[in-house]
């Protein structure tokens, strides 16, 4: 049976620093808004954590047991919301960090959700479709009492797909004995998914890029773009920026990368990766490593892979003027400080990649109404949401600017801290209204 734990559960020893690192921007923002230490302590701990074992019959007849997690960080503003990750590196410390970031992200973009996240320690690339389906249905059965339409609403993340969400939905509905399409988002359109959800994270990042370029006077026509992690999240923004006149000069995935200073066509890159399962070896390109896009000569850098890719070891070698964080937590706090001191604009993950959860919210609303919007309606609502969120974050950055004698981008509070200030105010207001603090 699933075991519910309180916040005193032991951390996973090999990654003890990840959650502590994730909390550093919270503590900086809390100091700025004079938040009481006991309130910071509440925000520094998840509300609930669930760890489950999932026995799965593999194709060769063996029974293999997988470990799954679901964490709810804070539900003061609404049901927990956050994806399910299938990856070999999934552990409790990582899921706690991701759930915390979701609380902040939902606060920044203004959707009425708290933060949640889940994951299974596995390698989906080495599993058959049947094994993935059995794993997903087993996980859904294990956490069915922990999730729900008004309780905790999962979605895809690294290593999961719309089809996996479909299997999860089916298993959950069987268990509860009724049709509840809104229990999970980013489902296939045929079972209640929202139009625009498949490209929402990339589309939202594109809108954030437009806002940043306009705000900081960064020309997009001819801008050189480097992307680490050329998957489903990055492809839409690559296409949109290309259509704006940008040049995609570098891309990478888990197997390697491709670099061409003259630029590469994003659609052709996608076709090549679909055919070969890698961007490495793309015609006309130079082969580079997975991490190289971080430091190539470019104007805009888009880290869209995993956490902790920009660190104090490589931050001084970043040449981009603007960083759009499509991945969760790609920049360490030490690297953040270096980048800000060098005048690099970083649009943080909790703003830049909020398009996914925003359209997931739209999907949840549509599921509850039983009425569905067009592509154009979804896109316009997403654009307005990102515009509003960016404006609020930038206003906080201006309000708390640190030193007017510096260059404009350095005198501003960094956008990450400003985003955390934006979110924390909303979360704390909700906690006080509920009498939780």
Give per-residue pLDDT as tens, 10-30. Answer: 333 344 478 998 899 999 999
Query: Which residues form the catalytic set?
Result: 117
Report how far residue 314's alpha carbon sits from residue 310's, in angstroms, rounded to the nearest whole number: 6
Lowest mean pLDDT among 39-53, 82-96, 328-342, 361-375: 328-342
Q: Are 320 and 301 contacting, i.e. CB atoms less than 8 angstroms apart?
A: yes
Does residue 342 carry a pLDDT above 50? yes
Provide the token pair at 433.
């209204």
Number of Cβ atoms within 10 Å of the Cβ of 170: 16
User: pLDDT at position 182, please?
Assistant: 95
Q: H or E element: which one contains 53? A: strand 48-57
Q: Are the CB atoms for 172 and 183 separated by under 8 Å?
A: yes
Q: State residue 402's pLDDT score.
A: 56
Supply the pLDDT for residue 412.
Answer: 72
Residue 183: pLDDT over 60: yes
The first and second tokens of residue 58, run together, are 């593999």
pLDDT at residue 410, as a whole number: 56
CATH 3.40.50.10860 domain extents, the chain: 3-190
List Cα–Cα distances, 197 to 23, 59, 71, 262, 392, in angstroms.
29, 32, 23, 32, 24
pLDDT in the model for residue 16 = 44
Token pair, residue 297, equals 């000569």
307 has pLDDT over 90: no
Mean pLDDT of 215-238: 94
Structure confidence at residue 404 as a pLDDT band (50, 70, 90): very low
Query: What residue ranges of the chain are covered by domains with CATH 3.40.50.720?
Result: 200-347
Q: Is 200-347 a domain of CATH 1.10.10.10?
A: no
Which CATH number among 3.40.50.300, 3.40.50.10860, 3.40.190.10, 3.20.20.370 corresponds to the domain 3-190?
3.40.50.10860
Q: Does the model's pTM come out above 0.75?
A: yes
- Mean per-residue pLDDT over the chain, rounded: 92
- At residue 413 the predicted structure's pLDDT band, cuts being 50, 70 and 90, is confident
pLDDT at 400: 83
């Amino acid at each position: 049976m699933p075991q519910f734990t309180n916040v005193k559960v032991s951390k996973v020893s090999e990654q003890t620093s990840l959650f502590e690192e994730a909390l550093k921007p919270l503590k900086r923002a809390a100091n700025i808004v004079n938040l009481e230490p006991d309130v910071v302590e509440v925000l520094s701990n998840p509300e609930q954590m669930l760890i489950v074992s999932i026995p799965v019959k593999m194709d060769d007849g063996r029974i293999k047991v997988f470990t799954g997690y679901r964490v709810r960080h804070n539900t003061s503003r609404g049901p927990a919301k956050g994806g399910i990750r299938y990856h070999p590196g999934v552990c409790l410390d990582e899921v706690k960090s991701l759930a915390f970031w979701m609380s902040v992200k939902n606060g920044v973009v203004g959707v009425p959700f708290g933060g949640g996240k889940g994951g299974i320690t596995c390698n989906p690339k080495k599993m058959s479709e049947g094994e993935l389906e059995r794993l997903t249905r087993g996980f859904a059965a294990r956490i069915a009492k922990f999730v729900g339409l008004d309780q905790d609403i999962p979605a895809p993340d690294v290593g999961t797909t719309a089809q996996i969400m479909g299997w999860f939905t089916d298993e959950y509905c069987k268990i509860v004995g009724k049709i509840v399409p809104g229990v999970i988002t980013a489902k296939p359109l045929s079972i209640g998914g929202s139009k625009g959800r498949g490209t929402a994270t990339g589309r939202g990042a594109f809108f954030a890029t437009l806002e940043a370029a306009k705000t900081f006077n960064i020309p997009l026509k001819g801008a050189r773009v480097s992307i680490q992690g050329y998957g489903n999240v990055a492809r839409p923004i690559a296409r949109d920026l290309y259509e704006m006149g940008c040049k995609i000069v570098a891309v990478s995935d888990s197997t390697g990368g491709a670099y061409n200073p003259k630029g590469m066509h994003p659609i052709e890159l996608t076709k090549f990766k679909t055919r070969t399962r890698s961007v490495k070896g793309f015609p006309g390109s130079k082969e580079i490593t997975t991490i190289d896009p971080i430091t190539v000569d470019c104007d805009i850098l888009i880290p869209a892979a995993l956490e902790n890719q920009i660190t104090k070891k490589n931050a001084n070698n970043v040449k981009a003027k603007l960083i759009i964080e499509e991945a969760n937590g790609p920049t360490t706090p030490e690297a953040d400080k270096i980048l800000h001191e060098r005048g690099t604009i970083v649009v943080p993950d909790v703003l830049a990649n909020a398009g996914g959860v925003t359209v997931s919210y739209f999907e949840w609303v549509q599921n509850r109404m039983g009425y569905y919007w067009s592509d154009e309606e979804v896109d316009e609502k997403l654009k307005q949401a990102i515009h509003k969120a960016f404006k609020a974050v930038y206003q906080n950055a201006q309000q708390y600017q640190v030193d007017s004698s510096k260059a404009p981008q350095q005198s501003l509070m960094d956008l990450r801290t400003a985003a955390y200030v934006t979110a924390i105010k909303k979360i704390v207001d909700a906690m006080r209204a509920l009498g939780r603090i």
